[in-house]
Amino acid sequence: MSSMSLAQNSKRKRGEGNYAQQKLFWKVVRVLVLTFFVFFALFPAVWVLSASFNPSQSMSSQTLIPRNVTSVDQLLVNYRVLFETPRYPFFRWVLNSVIVASITSVLTVMITALSAYSFSRFRFFGRQGLMLFILLVQVFPNLLAMVAIFLMLQQIGQYLPFLGLNTQGGLILVYVGGGMGINIWLMKGFFDSVPRDIDESAQVDGATHWQTYWLLIFPLVRPILIVVGILSFVGTFNEFVLARVLLRDINSWTLMVGLWGFVSDNFGQNWGIFAAGSVIGALPTLLVYLFFQDQIVGGLTQGAVKG
């Protein structure tokens, strides 16, 4: 009996040893895979950051660690040129982008919230057809409507100059209209998760539809409003195609259009200055994400749980 017990114990220990080795092996594999994906995700940002400190304006001579740099002035030469050259109104571009993105986010959230509340709570003729139409419009790429948008703003500018071509008002108008569709559907699902008993109780107490919306429903859907606002801000801040087509004056350009000028024929192939501007231009969106990260996670998870 003792010899059988020893054999069983030995077999069990070998099994435990094999299990421990397999567990260690798969743990190492997971760490290596995660390391690869982290490197894959961070490498472009590190490369751009390195290019911003490279005095050379050529991408062919770009290295991860800048070479032939002997002083701090050489490391910061791209930033100094970006800030001190009069022909590059960099801070004006940043301000334009922040203004356009902020106003677009506020208008998108307010108008979309009202529309989503109407579709969620009211029953009117053509409701289903209108919702389906809004969804179908989002299927077509915005580039297909580029010519129509250009001509439309050209006509509007004849009567309302602040909403015409080469104006930030016209660009904001296009951004707000383009961001309505998917956001209405997103908010409507969140409004549907709010119990209708709240509306009925408010109506019994004599509240109007506006009071019910603003005082009771609006605070409850605040997480999704913050999510939509942040996504709208980031998407508008980083948009290039529409801004490039609709804005002509260099002082009215947004940041993305201004950065494009550094690698086009306007300013020459200034890749180092372009990288420096990209690093600084990423700060506003980075700060927005860091400041509202709890609200973003809360809004998405609450919507998932309620739905």
| More reliable by pLDDT, 305 or 146 | 146
What gap in Å lies between CA 246 and CA 304, rounded to an integer?
Answer: 38
* Burial classification of residue 138, based on how many CB atoms lie within 10 Å of its CB (0-12 exposed, 13-18 middle, 19 or more buried): middle
Q: Calculate Rg over the CA atoms of the chain.
A: 28
In degrees, rounded to 5, the angle at the alpha carbon of residue 304 between the alpha carbons of residues 301 and 307 is 145
The torsion angle over the Cα atoms of residues 79, 46, 281 and 147, rounded to 10 degrees, is 120
Q: Which of 49-63, 128-142, 197-211 has the highest mean pLDDT?
A: 197-211
Interaxial angle between packed helices 180-192 and 293-306, expressed in degrees from 0 to 180 and rounded to the nearest 10:
60
Q: Is the pLDDT of residue 303 over 50?
A: no
**Residue 86 carries which DSSP code?**
T
- The answer to whether residue 70 scores a pLDDT higher than 60 is yes
pLDDT at residue 305 is higher than 60: no
Confidence at residue 254, expressed as pLDDT on a 0 to 100 scale: 94
Cα–Cα dist 20/10, whole Å: 15
Minimum mean pLDDT among 99-113, 210-224, 243-257: which range? 210-224
pLDDT value at 5 more than 70: no
Dihedral of CA atoms 77, 86, 101, 176 in degrees, nearest 10, equals -140
- Cα atoms in the 13 Å half-sphere on the side-chain side of 265: 0
Give me the pLDDT at residue 200, please: 85
Residue 76, SS3 per DSSP: coil
pLDDT at 257: 92
CA distance 273 to 88: 10
pTM for the model: 0.82
Q: How far apart are CA 209 and CA 296, in angstroms?
A: 28
Give the separation between CA 71 and CA 86, rounded to whole angstroms. 25
The mean-pLDDT minimum among 15-29, 169-183, 276-290 falls in 15-29
pLDDT at 107: 94
Please give the distance of CA 150 from its chain centroid, rounded to a whole number: 25
pLDDT (0 to 100) of residue 175 = 92
Structure-model confidence comparison of residues 139 and 304, the more confident one: 139
CA distances from 36 to 25, 29, 32, 42, 62 (A): 17, 11, 6, 10, 22
Q: Each residue of 186-200: pLDDT tens digit?
A: 888 888 888 888 888
What is the DSSP code (8-state) at residue 213? I
143-188 pLDDT tens trace: 778 888 889 999 998 998 889 888 999 999 999 988 888 888 888 8
Instruction: Compute the distance between CA of residue 64 and CA of residue 48 in angstroms, rounded to an integer.
Output: 9
Q: Quote the pLDDT of residue 236.
A: 93
What is the arithmetic mean of pLDDT over 265-270? 65
